[in-house]
Structure 1
Amino acid sequence: MEELNGTIDPSCLQEPPLAADVINQLDVFGIILYSVLTVMSVVSLVLYLEECVYVYRKVPSPKKTTIIWVNGAAPVIASMSCLGMWIPRATMFTDMTSNSYFAIVVYKFLILILQELGGDEAVLKNSGNKTLNISTGPCCCCCPCLPRVRVTRRIIFLLKLGSLQYALLKPILSIFSIILWANGNFDLSDLEITGAAIWINPFIGVLTIISLWPVAIMFMNMCTSLRSQRIIPKYAMYQLVLVLSQLQSAIISILSLDGTIACSPPFSSIARGSMLSQQLMIVEMFIVTLVTRLLYRRTYEPIDLNPCDADNGQITKMIPISVSTEENTA
């Protein structure tokens, strides 16, 4: 635009538009698009609430609480994305809410794996002298020389702590970022060394990588044992939400910052990139919600820990116990 007439549309340099401005500029296609995306986010939330009722009634404690937390990732992100789509100036708040919730989900997924194994005490009781392979992503996938570690109470505590730090620090840093933003000191487009964003965001990235490592360790060592509990597709959905909510959003943000995503009044480049990210997220999280519903809304069979079935350093072999299937008719 600058090359065509030597000027830049003033709206391309302004803050994101108000919700009323977004509604007023919608054409027929825009109205249909926004309506369909809103319905998707509402359906995701309704399906999640219905699933919460089912899990609360059919799954014993404390696993049901963990499942409810883990299942909420996609519906919460979809709901926050819908709010950010309709109210562009609230995008920072909705994104930080989604990311803070997912930080808790990372820790809860680790707890879910342990609960599927019967809990900490059951893992310690049946581990014997078995060891864990810690040469996994995202930290040490290229370090096969790392020694295996014995399964002890201390190791389990450190794994939990590695994921818990992100669940605690991410919301704190989000609140701190919002405070700085309100004071005019936090701007995602400010990449100067004196800007707050250039320091806070990489630090959050490091915390994210550290928190994902314990989950990857537990999954890589237990995926065979927990195959009957559908842990592999569950982990795949968890990873998919991670990639879509973190990596995809970061890529779109970078493209909007360098102007690859063009300004489209009343949206600036950054606001338009954020809008596109929100719309994509709603569709993607809607699909993830449907898939996770199939994985988690089911009868959970108890498992027996058989310490005699150790295979190549695996802690244990999980053997489902036949139980009554009367819950399947509920």
Structure 2
Amino acid sequence: MAMNGSINIVDPSCHQKPPLAIDIINELDMFGIILYAVLTLMAAVAMLVYIEECVYVYRKVSTPKKTAIAWVNGAAPVIATMSCLGMWIPRATMFTDMTSASYFAIVVYKFLILMLEECGGDEEFLRRCGKNTLKISTGPCCCCCPCLPHVAITRRTLFLLKLGSFQFALLKTVFSILSIILWTNENFDIADLQITGAAIWINPFVGILTIIALWPVAIMFMHLRSILRSQRIVPKYAMYQLVLVLSQLQSAIINILAMNGTIACAPPYSSQARGYLMSQQLLILEMFIITLANRLLYRRYYDPLPLSDPQEDDNDQNTKIVLQSECGDNVA
């Protein structure tokens, strides 16, 4: 923006669509070339590390657990890859962002499944924890409601917890496809906050679905964090939460600042396009670091979970020995 007397002259590119990929390449200076090259290399390395980790997990881990590990580990490299594509092709930002968000919606459900598989599966979880109760006054829904009663752990409770997370994996993908369809018909614009716009109805509803999906995961983690401490579930959950905050909350804050004009226009980028660019570049760096951290957490030998009650197991073994002795005496 330039001043000409009392008249403000705004660069026309500040109101144009995001630039094409070829325009970005033509505008890059030496610093830009190095920055784009380094970030692209980070995204590529993150994906290669993830592929190598998947090969290791599929060889060393049993079937139910390895699928959940592969999905959960893929969150950071997939987001980094989509952010890299959005950085190079700004007009595809909505598609890359929705792909990342849809993938992470599946990860929310898969992390719940991962915790159950770390226990040995649904049956083993019910055997270990069937006599206990679940504390449901946890975030993000009911952390301020300590008066809520504890819930018995049953098959029905486990089914409802799974359903609470699975609905987000399904409906987030459906709403992403719907948003893209409406966008092609010029009915969906994330910056359009008018009551007649589709974004003002879809985005809050997806936000409610997100909160509902995160609640069962938090309930299960609070119950299993001591049981699964040997499986390093606390740092795994921390990495999962970090991906959530960075990919959802951080990006939302930057995009809101861009839509309000707080982030200045920098031709050939409009204010909103520049906000997307900053968000994508930050995500590539952050997801690269998280990918390396996840490799240390997941690429290892998986020891069996310690017995829930060693004394009870000893009693069972003693009972079997006594029965075998009695059978031998009867035969004699």
**Residue aligning to 1:222:** 224
**Kept after mapping to 1: 8 A contact 2:130/2:154:** no
Distance change (3 Å), C-alpha of 1:61 and 1:172: same
For 1:154 and 1:2, how far apart are their aligned partners in 2?
65
Distance change (3 Å), C-alpha of 1:309 and 1:39: farther
3-state DSSP class of the match of 1:303?
A: coil
For 1:122 and 1:253, how far apart are their aligned partners in 2?
44
**Residue aligning to 2:17:** 15
Code of the residue aligned with 1:282 in structure 2: it is: I
Code of the residue aligned with 1:31 in structure 2: it is: I
Task: Render the CA deviation track for 1:25-60: whole Å, top value 9, x for unaligned.
Answer: 000000000000000000000000000000000111
Write the mapping of 1:129-168 to structure 2, written as runs, cut at 5 A.
129-168=131-170
Deviation at 1:209, TM superposition (A): 0.4
Deviation at 1:123, TM superposition (A): 1.6
**Residue aligning to 1:103:** 105
**Residue aligning to 1:325:** none
**Kept after mapping to 2: 8 A contact 1:117/1:305:** no
Task: Render the CA deviation track for 1:255-308: whole Å, top value 9, x for unaligned.
Answer: 000000010000000000000000000000000000000000000011144257
1:193 and 2:195 aligned: yes
**Residue aligning to 1:77:** 79
Write the mapping of 1:276-295 to structure 2, written as runs, cut at 5 A.
276-295=278-297
For 1:273 and 1:166, how far apart are their aligned partners in 2?
27
- After superposition, the CA RMSD in angstroms is 1.3
1:296 pairs with one of 295, 298, 318 = 298
1:202 pairs with one of 201, 204, 207 = 204
1:58 and 2:68 aligned: no
For 1:289 and 1:159, how far apart are their aligned partners in 2?
28
Alignment gaps of 5+ in structure 1: 311-330
**Kept after mapping to 1: 8 A contact 2:46/2:80:** yes
**Kept after mapping to 1: 8 A contact 2:230/2:305:** no
Deviation at 1:12, TM superposition (A): 0.5
For 1:216 and 1:58, how far apart are their aligned partners in 2?
28
Alignment gaps of 5+ in structure 2: 313-332
2:50 pairs with one of 40, 48, 51 = 48
Code of the residue aligned with 2:272 in structure 1: it is: I
3-state DSSP class of the match of 1:6?
A: strand
**Residue aligning to 1:115:** 117
For 1:190 and 1:2, how far apart are their aligned partners in 2?
27
**Residue aligning to 1:6:** 8
TM-score normalised according to structure 2 size: 0.91
Distance change (3 Å), C-alpha of 1:194 and 1:3: farther
Deviation at 1:146, TM superposition (A): 0.3
Distance change (3 Å), C-alpha of 1:3 and 1:121: farther
Write the mapping of 1:260-271 to structure 2, written as runs, cut at 5 A.
260-271=262-273
**Residue aligning to 1:170:** 172
2:242 pairs with one of 224, 240, 244 = 240
Code of the residue aligned with 2:267 in structure 1: it is: P
**Kept after mapping to 2: 8 A contact 1:107/1:164:** yes
Distance change (3 Å), C-alpha of 1:13 and 1:211: same
Deviation at 1:8, TM superposition (A): 1.5
TM-score normalised according to structure 1 size: 0.92
Deviation at 1:122, TM superposition (A): 1.1
1:87 and 2:86 aligned: no
For 1:15 and 1:287, how far apart are their aligned partners in 2?
32
**Hey, which bits of structure 1, 4+ residues long, moved more than 6 A?**
none
Code of the residue aligned with 1:296 in structure 2: it is: Y
Distance change (3 Å), C-alpha of 1:188 and 1:32: same
**Kept after mapping to 2: 8 A contact 1:70/1:109:** yes
Code of the residue aligned with 1:204 in structure 2: it is: V
Q: Point out the structure with the larger helix share.
A: 2
Deviation at 1:309, TM superposition (A): 8.8
Code of the residue aligned with 2:45 in structure 1: it is: V
Further displaced range: 297-306 or 113-122: 297-306
The structure number with the bigger radius of gyration is: 2
Write the mapping of 1:252-263 to structure 2, written as runs, cut at 5 A.
252-263=254-265
**Residue aligning to 1:67:** 69
